[in-house]
Structure 1
Amino acid sequence: MNENVLDILMYLFENYFSEPMEEEPDQGTLETELLEAGFAEPNVRKAFTWLEGLAEQQSDTEDEAEAGPSRRSVRIFTADEAHKLTRDARGFLIFLEDTGVVDPATRELVIDRLMALDSEEIDTEALSWVLLMVLHNSPGQEGAYVWVEDMIFDRMDGVLH
């Protein structure tokens, strides 16, 4: 199977994280299921490392909410970020911030998690999925989460607005 870490993250999100569960399965159970589903072991490990990094970054962001970038700050993408994120993805992220869907701290967390993916190029679809995963466990971001979720699933259903 030719999958990448994002494919595994999307699988986990669609099957386990998007709906509340009475009891969430432990990492060992999830790893076994992913391997049985045909995902490669090294990519499964990378996906869990990515999720651990997200949890760590989110707790750091909550602890340092006051010290983060302000709404008046201007984000200049580094050369590595500009190379990895397509022009459309960068533009979409700036649009989301300009319209108030994401705040500067969330933007930085999304960029961090995008850069942690093993993909050579990140497009708007990948950005949308990572944003959804970031917003899923972000307190106070419920409205943004619903907006991004609707956008992703409308796009998957072929609905254009």
Structure 2
Amino acid sequence: MFDVLVYLYETYWRPDACPDHAQLTRKLTAVGFENEEIQEALSWLQGLAAAGEAVQAEQSPHALRVYSASEIDHLGEASISFISFLESAGVLPGPMREMVIDRAMAIAGNGMELDDLKIIVLMVFWSLGEEPDALILDELFVAPEDRLIH
């Protein structure tokens, strides 16, 4: 599923640039994605759109996010730390954070991989038509061991 999401991000500038569901399914099939993977990704994207509509309420900048036990188990320490890092850097406001958490919790299995969470963060930005700044893109795409120290 994550391969489909990355492909959509790289191919379509914004979600509204994507063709309709049937045509997009045909295009993704033609590229070589499996039908089950396509349907899972498209369903996940529908949930992302719904999450975007649901979290439009303003939150206090001083609000504290408390994670439930199931969120802690599913997301894991590395993912929660990364979300906190993005929040403290001022690039992931509360409503976007909630979208990230909602979509991460929608992924089956236990124990979110940090690389998968980074794709979810990227897709949240994409769904809102926002481009993360260069430093955040570096955090999302470049492995720590490949970074150059200046």
Provide the TM-score with structure 1 as the length reference: 0.76
Q: 1:128, 1:152 within 8 Å by CA — same for their partners in 2?
A: yes
- Amino acid across the alignment from 2:136: V
- Aligned pairs for 1:121-160 (under 5 A) are 121-138=111-128, 142=131, 144-155=132-143, 158-160=146-148
Q: 1:96, 1:102 within 8 Å by CA — same for their partners in 2?
A: yes
Deviation at 1:150, TM superposition (A): 3.1
**C-alpha deviations, 1:86-141, integer Å up to 9, x for none?**
211111111111221211111111000111123432122212111111112436x5
Which residue of 1 is the match for residue 11 of structure 2?
15
Provide the TM-score with structure 2 as the length reference: 0.81
Which residue of 1 is the match for residue 20 of structure 2?
26
User: Sequence identity of aligned pairs in percent?
Assistant: 32
Q: Which runs of 5+ in 2 are unaligned?
A: none
Residue of 27, 30, 40 corresponding to 1:36: 30
> Secondary structure in 1 aligned to 2:146?
coil
Q: 2:14, 2:126 within 8 Å by CA — same for their partners in 1?
A: no
Distance 1:78 1:86 in 2: 12
Q: 1:132, 1:145 within 8 Å by CA — same for their partners in 2?
A: no
- Aligned pairs for 1:1-150 (under 5 A) are 5-16=1-12, 19=13, 24-62=18-56, 65-66=57-58, 69-138=59-128, 142=131, 144-150=132-138
- Amino acid across the alignment from 2:35: E
Aligned-residue CA RMSD (Å): 2.7
Q: 1:54, 1:113 within 8 Å by CA — same for their partners in 2?
A: yes
Q: Which stretches of structure 1, 4 residues or longer, exceed 4 Å deviation after superposition? A: none
Deviation at 1:57, TM superposition (A): 1.6
Distance 1:40 1:32 in 2: 11
Distance 1:59 1:154 in 2: 31
How many residues in Structure 1 have an aligned counterpart in Structure 2?
148
